[in-house]
Structures are given as C-alpha cells and as structure tokens.
Chain A
C-alpha cells in the first residue's frame, strides 16, 4: 500500500517541478524546481520500486544505492550550474545579493 502512495507522491512532485521550470522567473529559482524533480521525485520512485520488486534482498538494495548516488550527485551538479551561470554574467532577480557585494 505504502509503495503506491510513494509512487503517486513522486509523480506529483515531477509534475510540479516541470511546472516550476516553466513558471519561475530566472535561472536560479528554476534550478530549485529542477533539483526537486531529482531528489523528491526520482528518489521516492526508486524507494517505491525497491519495496515493490519481487527479488532477493541484495538485488533490492541496488535501488537504494541508486537513490544514494542521486542524493550525492544532484547537489554538486546544481551548484556547478548556478556558479557557472553567475560567473557567466546572468544577473539574478533577487531582493538582496550579498555575493555581488563581495565581488564588485
């Protein structure tokens, strides 16, 4: 039962993340939505698959290894994209920018 709940939750997060990529104003806020697709959506779907699969325990644990690798890689990639966009010169639409204060 709980695996179907997790699957539905992951699908909903995927839909809202895709909607956020369309609706948010600039690169950095869109990155928030895109990374939540990965962590909230893909990881819950993988955990649900690990609970549902008809397989021995060691094979089910491979899904958890995949979820752990996503949790490691996703923040690194989002940090690289955000920092690269800032260094390239894309100005964020923000109320306060303390990074620009220190890098005039």
Chain B
C-alpha cells in the first residue's frame, strides 16, 4: 500500500512537471515568424498576382501585422524543437495529413446523414466525453473537428478540477461508457492535435 502511494505520487509529480514544461510559452520572435508563415501565403492567394513588387509589399505588411498579433494564433503551441523544424513539419507533414483525414471524414458524414434521412434510423442522445487537451486553441480545434466528423455536434465545454469535458450531441448513440464513447467520437484527431498544442 505504502509503495503504491509513493509510486502514484511520483507519477503525479512527473506529470505536473511535464505539463509545466509543455505549457511554457515559445519566444517572441518565434511567435512572430510562425504567424508570418501563416499570413504570407494567405496574402499571396487573396491578392492573386506574383510580381516581385507585390510580394515585397505583402511581406512587409504581414510582418507588421504579425508583430502586432503574435499572441492570437501561437500562444498555445508546444515549446519543443527549433523553429525551422517545427515550421517545416507543420507545413509539409501535419497540415496536409490533417486536411486529408478531415476531407474523408466530411464525405463520410454527408453520406451517413443522407442515409439517416432516408431510413430515419436515428437514436439521438447527449453524451459527455473527456479530453486530454488543456489549452484554449487546442480545445477549440478539437470541438470544431468533432462537429465536422460524422453524426456528432459539440454542445458545450466545461473545465472542472483541471480536466476538460465536452458535451456532444450524438445522432446515433452506440455506447454510454465514457472511454468507449470518447474513442468512437474523437478518433485519431486528438493524437494529431496533441503533437502541436498542449
């Protein structure tokens, strides 16, 4: 019994240390550059021409904007790895894979709702699931992904005792067990989000 308590305490202490490490903010210039890397392609696509003068004006403008707005997008990004590695990983691996996963999920959800409309085999309910994410941005992206995935709609978010719970309206309730329902609803999206957000 004593050894069990000691082990458990050690585990909790390690987890708290890890959370503090993961919740540390990244430096200011890294935040500015990450925001700039998001804003500059958006300028290029929206303005629609690729002459050097236009690109230079866009780079200067987006640099000013990203130095003012650096906290809005990147406050909750995990602080490990260097900036170049993180940016390239985000642009080339993480975002395209998430986009492909979400695209197929959207197609599947449309087909499933069309089937529900035809046969009316619905069994709706509101279930409560637990998530491991803690930051505001991470929870927002996770809730939006849950709404886009087949047959689910996020109703509310609640934080209690350091843990985060989501209330989800499910159009076809399969199980009431919290772990099984969470696995069914969240899928592998949460694993993807935990790589970037804490």
Residues of A within 8 A of B (CB): 12-13, 16-17, 19-20, 23-24, 28-29, 31-33, 35-36, 39-41, 43-44, 58-59, 61-62, 64-65, 71-72, 74-76, 78-79, 82-83, 86, 92-100, 102
SS class, residues of chain A in contact with chain B: helix
Decide yes or no whether B29 CB sits under 8 A from chain A.
Answer: no
Decide yes or no whether B128 CB sits under 8 A from chain A.
Answer: yes
Query: Complex Cα distance A31/B154, Å?
Result: 11
Query: Complex Cα distance A74/B173, Å?
Result: 23
Proximity bits, B35-50, A CB within 8 Å = 1, else 0: 0000000101110111
Decide yes or no whether B117 CB sits under 8 A from chain A.
Answer: yes
Cβ-defined contact, B113 with A17, below 8 A: yes
Q: Which of A23, A83, A102 contacts B128 (CB 8 A)?
A: A102
Chain B contributes a number of interface residues (CB within 8 A of A) equal to 41
Q: A29: which B residues are within 8 A, CB to CB?
A: 122, 124, 171
Residues of B within 8 A of A (CB): 42, 44-46, 48-50, 102, 106-107, 109-110, 113-114, 116-118, 120, 122-128, 143-145, 147-148, 151, 153-156, 158, 167, 169, 171, 173, 176
Cβ-defined contact, A62 with B46, below 8 A: yes
Q: A95: which B residues are within 8 A, CB to CB?
A: 123-125, 173
Cβ-defined contact, A28 with B117, below 8 A: no
Query: Complex Cα distance A13/B107, Å?
Result: 10
Apart from A32-B116, A58-B50, list 19 A-B contacts with CB within 8 A. A12-B114, A17-B113, A17-B117, A20-B113, A20-B117, A23-B120, A35-B153, A39-B109, A39-B148, A40-B109, A40-B110, A62-B46, A75-B144, A79-B143, A79-B147, A96-B173, A97-B125, A98-B167, A99-B126
